[in-house]
Amino acid sequence: MAAITLHNVTLGYQRHPAVHHLSGSFASGSMTAIVGPNGSGKSTLLKGITGFLRPMEGSIDRGGLQAHQIAYLPQRLEVDRSFPITVLDTVLLGLWQEIGMFGGVNRTLWQRAAKALSTVGLGGLESRGINELSGGQFQRVMFARMSLQNAPVLIFDEPFNAIDQQTVLDLMAVIRRWHEEGRTLLIVVHDLVLVREFFPQALLLAREPVTWGKTSEVLTEEHLLQSRTMAQAWDRAAAICRQEPL
C-alpha cells in the first residue's frame, strides 16, 4: 500500500527543473534513503512531497494524508537558532496541531515533552536555551519535537550533517524505532555507508531518477557512476522539456 505516489513529477524553480520526470511510490511503512550527488534535486523533491513546492508537471498523491500528518525536518541551516526559546518550549511546538495556537500546556503534555527529550538523550536540559546547544544536541531536540507530532510520515533533509558519530547512531536508533512502529520515513543521506547499513530502500537521483528499489541493488558502482555523469552533464540553462509518462 503506497503512502506517497509520484506521477511523472517535475519540480523546479523559475521554470527550470531541479527534479525531472520522476514516477514511483514510497510504500506505507517503508524507510527510504534519498541519495545522489550535490545539486541532484534531493531537497527539492522533499519540498514537493511536503507541499512547499508545487509540481511544474505531473502530480503527487499523498494517499489522503493531511498536512499535519507529514512531519518535516529541513536542513539545520534553514532553522533560526538565535530565537530566545528553551529546549522544552521548542519540543512543545511539536504539539501545535494538538493544542492549537492558544491552547494551554497541562502537566501531561509537559511530561510527554520531557519524556521525548529523555528518549533522545537530553534529559535535564529542558530549561537551556537552544542557542547554547551544540549541533548534535540541537538535532536531538528536533527529533524530540518530531516525536511529539506523532505523524505517520516523517521526512528528513540531511539530518546527520555536521554532527558527531555518536549522535548519528543515537538518532538512527530513534529512526529505527519509528520504522518498527510502521511509520513511513524518507531521509536525504550523504553517507552511503550509513545507507547500506540501515536503510532497506534507496532512491538515487541525479535530477532525473537513476534507480529506485532495494538499497543493495541501487547503490552499485555502475549506478553511482551513472549518477555522477548525469549530474555533471546537466545544463542549468535548459528549458523544461516535455515527456510522456511511461
Count: domains in the chain: 1
**104: which residues sit within 8 A by CB, 6+ positions away?**
none
Domain annotation covers residue 171: no
Domain annotation covers residue 96: no
Domain annotation covers residue 220: yes
What was the pLDDT predicted at 103?
60
Count of helices and strands (H, E) across the chain: 9, 9
Domain annotation covers residue 57: yes
| Its pTM surpasses 0.85 | yes
57-78: per-residue pLDDT in tens?
A: 999 999 999 888 999 999 876 6
Domain annotation covers residue 30: yes
Place of cell 524505532: 177
What was the pLDDT predicted at 245?
44
The CATH number that applies at residue 60 is: 3.40.50.300
Average pLDDT of the segment spanning 107-116: 90
Domain annotation covers residue 199: yes
User: What domain range is 196 assigned to?
Assistant: 1-65+154-161+183-246
Place of cell 534519498: 34
